[in-house]
Structure 1
Amino acid sequence: MRREKSCGALVFRPNEESYDLILLRHRFGGHWSFPKGHVEQGENEQQTAMREVKEETGVSITLLDGFRESVEYFPKPGVKKQVVYFLGRALEDKLVRQEEEISEVRWVPIHQAGEMVTFSNDKRLIRLAKKRLGLPQ
């Protein structure tokens, strides 16, 4: 069994009522999810998450303490993938899509994000992020 590891972040910004999250639609597969990517040699998990968010969305982030969630799945036969997610506050609002991998990127109100994401693991991550941000479930 081959193992792969990626890291990413649920990226938020405050809005008038609550928070928005960045969601992106992957060009391959068409699913809505969060920015993430493979760990490069010499990087730790946090560095990978911050780099991938910047590459895929154009947004720099700071990571909140106390949020590190891991998801595991099998993207293809013989491959087990672990993705570690952090919660990151956006330092800017303007989104710049990475055209090679991402077909669409947008800010979505956090209370609508759970309906947009494709996978149940991502729905769970949004619930955990809302809890960490002190929002009602």
Structure 2
Amino acid sequence: MRQVKSCGFIVMRTQPQLSFLLLMKHSSRYDLPKGHIEVGENELSCAFRELYEETGIAASSLHLDQTFRFTTIYQTSEQRFGLQEIAEKTLVIFLGWLKQDVKLQLSEHDAYIWVDWKPPHAIQKKTIDPLLAELEQHFHKNEIRF
């Protein structure tokens, strides 16, 4: 089984209210700014590159939370070279806080939404819901108040 790794960000903002960014690739599927790691990249540089490529958000516009790192492994079906291939995918997500309001410049997605932080969330069972549950625990454990 082929193994792949994808890295990205959950981007949070506190104004106008506490919320996080989701990209909408299809009418029924939301996602985070993320993508496959390239040769010579580490996880964080991949996440920053993908964030900039997909949203126009530069690394300088984010405050990186050094203590949060979400990882999950799951099986997925990918189209490669015209063939359906099963892969074991590792997903690594970092937490970034917007320093100021930014105008998003989408390159790979049709739309985006800011979702108010009102746990528990039920958005997507495979990756986003577990990420948000772990993020909620992170906020509670580190006494992050809003």
Query: Which range, TM-score by smaller chain?
Result: 0.7 to 0.9
Conservation of the 8 A alpha-carbon contact between 1:95 and 1:106: no
Q: CA RMSD of the aligned region, Å?
A: 2.3
Partner SS for 1:111: coil
Question: Residues 84-116 of structure 1, C-alpha deviation per residue, up to 9 Å, x if partnerless?
Answer: 011111244321111xx312112221227924x
Structure 2 equivalent of residue 96 of structure 1 = 105
Correspondence 1:1-137 to 2 at 5 A: 1-17=1-17, 19-27=18-26, 30-60=28-58, 61-76=62-77, 77-91=85-99, 92-98=101-107, 101-111=108-118, 114-115=121-122, 117-133=123-139, 134=143
Query: Using a 3 Å threshold, how does the CA distance of structure 1 residues 112 and 94 change in structure 2: closer, same or farther?
Result: farther
Unaligned runs of 5+ in 2: 78-84
Structure with max Cα Rg: 2
The ranges of structure 1 where at least 4 consecutive aligned residues each deviate by more than 6 angstroms after the TM superposition are none
Conservation of the 8 A alpha-carbon contact between 1:57 and 1:105: no
Conservation of the 8 A alpha-carbon contact between 1:58 and 1:96: yes
TM-score by length of 2: 0.77
Question: Residues 12-36 of structure 1, C-alpha deviation per residue, up to 9 Å, x if partnerless?
Answer: 011255x110101124x84112111
Query: How many Å separate the matches in 2 of 1:122 and 1:85?
Result: 10
Question: Residues 29-73 of structure 1, C-alpha deviation per residue, up to 9 Å, x if partnerless?
Answer: 841121110111211111111111111111123321111111212
Partner SS for 2:51: helix
Query: How many Å separate the matches in 1 of 2:131 and 2:64?
Result: 15
Q: 1:120 offset after TM fit, Å? A: 4.1
Query: How many Å separate the matches in 1 of 2:19 and 2:46?
Result: 22
Conservation of the 8 A alpha-carbon contact between 1:69 and 1:84: yes
